[in-house]
Amino acid sequence: MSNDYIYTTYIKTTAEKVWAAITNPEFTRQYWGHDNVSDWKVGSTWQHVTSEGQARIVGQVLESVPPNRLVLSWANPANPTDESRVTFEIDTIEDMVRMNVMHGNFKAGSSMAEAVAKGWPRVLSSMKTFLETGKALDTWAGHDSDCAK
């Protein structure tokens, strides 16, 4: 498996709405099933939190250029040394957005690489559907227990 995972999608929406979908807990809850919580300023912490208040993923905001670029460190709080990096690049092309999500910088032997390779396509497909139709997919229907959600 490659050390980097790259996913590109085109969404009929605006860059501002994609940014909000990534950073606003009310949006992430609807298409991802969890809240992304932070003030999204460089150096701040961020958490991916379940409805029960459990942090599933934690990290730090490394870059934040609303609404076009967000770079986060990414780790399971149970194993914070297995840290990787996620970059969201959001570009407007006429009446749509091209969003690139790059997840990489995995440590040797990381268990996160395989999990996110399964999780990102589901999450980003649900985000796209949510932004275009107002209804999210059942992102985790039939998911394997090792998907990073």
- Of the candidates 70, 75, 71, the one whose C-alpha atom is nearest the C-alpha of residue 59 is 75
Residue boundaries of the structural domains of the chain:
5-133
The answer as to CATH 2.40.30.10 being correct for domain 5-133 is no
Specify the pLDDT at position 45: 98
pLDDT for 44-82, tens place per residue?
A: 999 999 999 999 999 999 999 999 999 999 999 999 999
Average pLDDT of the chain, as a whole number: 91
- For the segment 75-98, the average pLDDT, to the nearest whole number, is 95
